[in-house]
């Protein structure tokens, strides 16, 4: 799961023009004069397809042909006694020509501009009608407006499966729901996993995910089929982290409530093999090299309880000494020829260390976060010689993701902006790729897939320089 570091709360990729935003000059259009209004054929992208809809602009507000938009969205229309009823996505909307009120599921909602009848066609306020139907409207800032009725809503995080699909996760009061989503169409299906499943860990080949349940059992779900996950390990030791091998055949994990042991699971035969059992607790952020021989992880020591020996015990006057509890990076390489082979501690610094990745066989990169909140978070690397070198330190780094041999950083920008940089780990050369709104809470990258961002629960995907909504 991606974590985003921010020194202040983010408030406002691009401004949303939802509601009563006028289409204005954003559309190439042809106009037809009537005695009272000017009707325009305007281009929109509805459910992923570019279509022309009849529109009227009145008082700076766009009204759209009820018939045209309803047909493209798939809404069912019925008319009786001058009242038109539209049904879509479990919502019922009632409207009447000349009325400034929409009745949505029985509740009245006031319109900025009354429903209008022109040349026998009913026109209704675009944003209000789209919202009433439970659909979404999004302007990408480059002249295109997307209207979608079939998109998943309120997405908390995603991970790309391949260039066309991603897994979207919704957190809710009762737990979590995971969906497999087609980025181009927004079509999605609920993945049938256990209610108490841990985060889904995607295999490198993109065909399956693994997770643990509350009892520590490991299950694997095949994404190429529609069905339930299969339990591949009945071992009930707690497994706080799962990591697939590079060939998607084995699963490595930390074992025990303190993550003390590194172990390997062969899911085909339900066999577990211990890799490292050095009695060192609180391992985390496990990574495994492509050859399965080198393991990178952090170790965090717990704070020490300090009590004043001169005070009575019943006063319970204690404190926690956090000195020396900062996470440190370790590497362990399997080598049968070395007697009493031990892990090597690469760092000793007092900074926090996040977004850790062993990008190559010689160094480990991570974002260094100083305890001094006025200091910038920077991307650095540490080698086997334990020397720390800077990779990027120009702007405060909020998030760092590694894909296709490059680092992608979400950083502070200018004012309310944020920037996305591509950084070469070999040279440290940085290139700015995007300017995003501060409302963007995270970026999602994968080699071969477009860059995606999450903004206010909505997934936006870069398609030829425009931001296409893939959720609402």
In a domain, 148, yes or no: no
| CA gap 81, 83 in Å, rounded | 6
Q: Do 130 and 164 reside in the same domain of the chain?
A: no
In a domain, 88, yes or no: yes
Handedness of CA 104, 110, 38, 466 (dihedral sign): negative
Q: Do 96 and 209 reside in the same domain of the chain?
A: no
Q: Do 411 and 328 reside in the same domain of the chain?
A: yes
Q: Do 46 and 192 reside in the same domain of the chain?
A: no
Among 140, 166, 186, residue at a domain's last position: 140
DSSP codes of every residue in 235-263: --S--SEEEE-TTSS-EEEEETTTT-EEE
In a domain, 11, yes or no: no
Q: Residue 61: give its domain's CATH number.
A: 3.30.457.10
353: which strand partners?
368
pTM (2 d.p.): 0.82
Q: Do 128 and 161 reside in the same domain of the chain?
A: no
Among 140, 166, 189, residue at a domain's last position: 140
Q: Do 196 and 122 reside in the same domain of the chain?
A: no
How much is the pLDDT for 11?
31
> Between vectors from CA 282 to CA 279 and to CA 286, what angle results, nearest 5°?
100
What range does the domain containing 50 cover?
24-140
| CA gap 443, 400 in Å, rounded | 9
Q: Do 380 and 462 reside in the same domain of the chain?
A: yes
How much is the pLDDT for 141?
75
Q: How, if at all, do strands 38-46 and 145-148 pair?
A: parallel
In a domain, 9, yes or no: no
Residue 388 structure tokens? 């720390």
How much is the pLDDT for 22?
34
In a domain, 415, yes or no: yes
From the first residue on, what is the mean pLDDT of each consecutive set of 10 residues in the chain (472 residues)? Answer: 46 33 34 62 91 94 96 94 93 96 96 94 96 90 86 93 96 88 90 91 97 95 94 95 97 95 96 96 96 96 69 63 84 91 95 91 92 94 94 97 96 95 94 96 96 93 90 89
Distances (CA, A) of 465 to 13, 142, 227, 425, 434: 11, 9, 36, 25, 10
Q: Do 76 and 165 reside in the same domain of the chain?
A: no
In a domain, 5, yes or no: no
| CA gap 289, 428 in Å, rounded | 22
Q: Do 131 and 189 reside in the same domain of the chain?
A: no
Q: Residue 161: give its domain's CATH number.
A: 2.140.10.30
Q: Using DSSP, how many helices (H) and how many strands (E) does the chain show?
A: 2, 43
Residue 276 structure tokens? 């490292």
Q: Do 91 and 186 reside in the same domain of the chain?
A: no
Run of H or E including 232: strand 230-233
How are strands ordered across the β-sheet holding 440-444? 440-444, 452-455, 458-463, 466-469
| CA gap 392, 470 in Å, rounded | 31
DSSP state of 35: S
In a domain, 128, yes or no: yes
- The total of structural domains in the chain comes to 2
Residue 354 structure tokens? 């996040």
Q: Do 86 and 195 reside in the same domain of the chain?
A: no
Phi, psi of 69 (to 5 degrees): -70, -40
pLDDT tens digits, 89-138: 899 999 999 999 999 999 999 999 999 999 899 999 999 999 999 998 98
| CA gap 41, 56 in Å, rounded | 9
In a domain, 146, yes or no: no
Q: Do 70 and 212 reside in the same domain of the chain?
A: no
């Amino acid at each position: 799961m991606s974590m985003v570091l921010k020194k202040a709360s983010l408030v406002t990729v691009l401004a949303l023009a939802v509601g009563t935003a006028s289409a204005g000059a954003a559309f190439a259009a042809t106009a037809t004069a009537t005695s009272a209004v000017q009707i325009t054929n305007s281009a929109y992208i509805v459910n992923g397809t570019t279509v022309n809809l009849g529109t009227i602009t009145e008082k700076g507000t766009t009204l759209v042909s009820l018939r045209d938009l309803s047909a493209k969205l798939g809404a069912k229309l019925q008319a009786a006694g001058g009242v038109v009823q539209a049904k879509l996505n479990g919502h019922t909307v009632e409207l009447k020509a000349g009325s400034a009120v929409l009745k949505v599921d029985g509740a009245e909602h006031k319109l900025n501009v009354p429903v209008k009848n022109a040349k026998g066609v009913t026109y209704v306020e675009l944003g209000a009608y789209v919202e009433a139907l439970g659909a979404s409207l999004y302007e990408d800032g480059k002249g295109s407006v997307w209207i979608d009725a079939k998109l998943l809503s309120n997405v908390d995080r995603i991970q790309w499966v391949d260039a066309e699909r991603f897994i979207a996760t919704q957190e809710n009061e009762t737990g979590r729901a995971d969906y497999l989503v087609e980025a181009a169409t927004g079509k999605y299906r609920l993945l049938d996993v256990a209610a108490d499943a841990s985060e889904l860990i995607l295999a490198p080949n993109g065909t399956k995910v693994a997770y643990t349940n509350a009892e520590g059992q490991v299950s694997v779900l095949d994404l190429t089929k529609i069905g339930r996950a299969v339990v591949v390990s009945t071992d009930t030791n707690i497994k706080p982290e799962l990591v697939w091998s590079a060939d998607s055949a084995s699963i490595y994990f930390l074992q025990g409530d303190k993550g003390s042991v590194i172990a390997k699971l062969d899911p085909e035969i339900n066999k577990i093999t211990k890799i490292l059992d050095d009695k060192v607790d609180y391992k985390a952020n496990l990574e495994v090299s492509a050859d399965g021989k080198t393991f990178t992880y952090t170790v965090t020591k717990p704070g020490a309880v300090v009590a004043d020996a001169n005070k009575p015990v019943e006063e319970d006057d204690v404190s926690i000494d956090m000195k020396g509890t900062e996470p440190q990076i370790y590497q362990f390489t399997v080598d049968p020829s070395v007697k009493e082979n031990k892990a090597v501690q690469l760092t000793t610094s007092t900074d926090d260390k996040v977004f850790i990745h062993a990008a190559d066989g010689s160094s480990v990169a991570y974002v260094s976060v100083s305890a001094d909140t006025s200091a910038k978070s920077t991307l650095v690397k540490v080698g086997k010689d334990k020397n720390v070198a800077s990779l990027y330190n120009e702007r405060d780094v909020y998030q760092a993701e590694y894909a296709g041999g490059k680092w992608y950083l979400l950083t502070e920008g200018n004012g309310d902006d944020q920037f996305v940089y591509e950084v070469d780990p070999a040279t440290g050369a940085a290139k700015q790729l995007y300017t995003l709104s501060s409302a963007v809470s995270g970026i999602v990258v994968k080699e071969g897939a477009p860059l995606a961002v999450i903004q206010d629960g909505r997934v936006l995907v870069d398609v030829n320089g425009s931001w296409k909504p893939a959720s609402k």
